[in-house]
A = this chain, B = another copy of it.
Amino acid sequence: MPRAAHLMDIREIAKRARVSTATVSRTINRIPTVNPQLAKRVWNVVEELGYYPNTQARALVSGRSRIFGLIISEITNPFFPEIVQVFERIAVQHHYEIMLTSTENDPTQMEIAVRRMIERRVEGVAIMTFGMEEVLLEDLKLRKVPLVFVDVGPARPRVSNIRIDYVHGIRQAVQHLAALRHHRIGFISGPLHLKSAEARKQAFLNSMAEIGLDVDRTLVVEGTHTIEGGIAALGKLLAEPNRPTAVLCSNDMTAMGVMRKAYEEGIQIPADLSVIGFDDIRLAQFILPALTTVQMSQAELARLAFNALLTELQRAVPSPTGTEYVLQTHLVLRESTRLVPGHVKAPAGKKRS
Chain A residues with a Cβ under 8 A of chain B? 2, 5-6, 50, 52-57, 59-60, 65, 75-76, 78, 80-82, 84-85, 88, 92, 97-102, 104, 112, 115-116, 118-121, 139, 142-144, 227, 256-257, 259-260, 263, 282-283, 286-289
Contact = CB atoms under 8 A, between A and B. Distances in A.
A149 to B, nearest CB: 20
A54 B50 contact: no
Contacts of A144: 6
A64 to B, nearest CB: 10
Contacts of A88: 100-102
Contacts of A282: 76
A50 B145 CA distance: 15
A60 B50 contact: no
A5 B141 CA distance: 10
A209 to B, nearest CB: 34
A120 to B, nearest CB: 5
8 contacts: A52-B115, A56-B56, A76-B85, A84-B102, A88-B100, A92-B116, A97-B99, A263-B289
A68 to B, nearest CB: 13
B52 A56 contact: no
A110 to B, nearest CB: 12
B288 A139 contact: no
A224 to B, nearest CB: 14
Contacts of A257: 286
Contact of A82 (B59, B76, B120, B288): B76
B99 A85 contact: no
A10 B200 CA distance: 48
B53 A119 contact: yes
A78 B2 CA distance: 38
Nearest to A230: B286
Which 7 pairs across A and B sit closest by C-beta, in order of nearness? A6-B143, A56-B56, A56-B59, A75-B81, A55-B119, A52-B118, A56-B60
Given A56-B120, A92-B116, A286 B100 contact: no
Contacts of A84: 75, 100, 102
A317 to B, nearest CB: 17
A100 B100 contact: yes
Contacts of A81: 75-76, 78, 80-81
B78 A85 contact: no
A69 to B, nearest CB: 11
A121 B54 contact: yes
A286 B59 CA distance: 46
Given A84-B102, A92-B112, A98-B100, 8 more contacts: A5-B142, A56-B56, A60-B60, A78-B78, A227-B286, A283-B283, A287-B287, A288-B288
Contacts of A50: 139, 142
